[in-house]
Structure 1
């Protein structure tokens, strides 16, 4: 079975207006509120005040809906005005990379369900446009294959991993599980001294931690500028 991006979009049927953009907006609302487990085609149809048959005319499966929703939130990741993204651009590659990745992480944190789903093939226009922008910026630093592809994947995995970690930590609303984890670690300081000293399980300035790690990664790229 082909994915949603590889099939032609069906025209709207007669009756109440229902189109792909409206479906995707409603799906993101449900996902933000209830997570992937709370999204079903029936509940989405109810949220749209439409019948399941009408919904299935536009999207064939729940996977289609998820793919569309993921691409939709990638559209929230801003690109600089007038950014051509080509290798010959005189834009500062590092400014472009940092700006894109910071905004991408922020979008995933606004939609915590998204990060864990990014292992699926991503062929939507918003995803592809921003991935092309990232690789073109890295290419301007002087990277070529295989370093270019490795750098792209390393940076993407860092952003996704950061979003997954922070989203999971924030879901521990009650302080007790966090305190119990810290106490458990503290009682074994002789085995894990650096983890205790650095507050491995403490609340921290997650934004600063992410930016520092990103700086280390970008400083380590084998650029030729």
Structure 2
């Protein structure tokens, strides 16, 4: 799978062909079908490979469930940012053991934190959607400082139509990490058990 991942990283989804993969492996394209049924299966396997969860070091202790969830989701996002093609593949692929393991760990942690079983699916899917959306936006909306400044300048000229986003300087905000973490805090505040 490492070779398929390298090709996806270098050429994207459209750049992965059976011929290119076979050439890189030093074999014929037809011989690949002894190992996989289709290119779609390669996508499934490559996606699952890059989304393997990297548990925190033993020395890292979490004070509460939020720390665990934040680590899980930041690790997931970091994995997808290292392999930008993964964010667009994830919603339409089969879920492999690494992805299912992530979801199981997330569900177990939320359950231990007091999220009711009736709310567990909503919590998991909300966090899933947030991570994928934030990652996809980060990977596809990355603009230079000059591009953001020019867009904000155009927006300033239209401030009578878009006063709120002009005032908040939305188009100049390049703090992707801070935005991700603060948005995650908003979500987790809503998931916190009510006392």
Fold shared, TM-score > 0.5 on shorter chain: yes
Contact preservation (8 Å) 1:122, 1:128: no
Q: 62-71 or 143-152: which moved more?
A: 143-152
Query: Which of 48, 53, 58 is the equivalent residue of 2:25?
Result: 48
Instruction: Tell me, in whole angstroms, the C-alpha distance in 1 between the residues paired with 2:183 and 2:177.
Output: 10
Contact preservation (8 Å) 1:142, 1:224: no
Alignment gaps of 5+ in structure 2: none
Residue 183 of structure 2 is matched in structure 1 by 213
Contact preservation (8 Å) 1:141, 1:224: no
Alignment gaps of 5+ in structure 1: 1-23, 83-89
Matches of residues 36-185 of structure 1 in structure 2 within 5 Å?
Answer: 36-75=13-52, 77-80=53-56, 92-170=64-142, 172=143, 175-176=146-147, 178-185=148-155
Misfit runs of 4+, over 3 Å: 172-176, 178-181
Aligned length: 192
**How large is the RMSD of aligned CA atoms in angstroms?**
2.2
Q: Residue 51 and residue 91 in structure 1: after superposition, are their counterparts in 2 closer, same or farther (change >3 A)?
A: farther
- Which one has the bigger helix percentage? 2
The normalised TM-score by structure 2 is 0.90
Residue 164 of structure 2 is matched in structure 1 by 194
Matches of residues 30-41 of structure 1 in structure 2 within 5 Å?
Answer: 30-41=7-18
Instruction: Tell me, in whole angstroms, the C-alpha distance in 1 between the residues paired with 2:79 and 2:96.
Output: 16
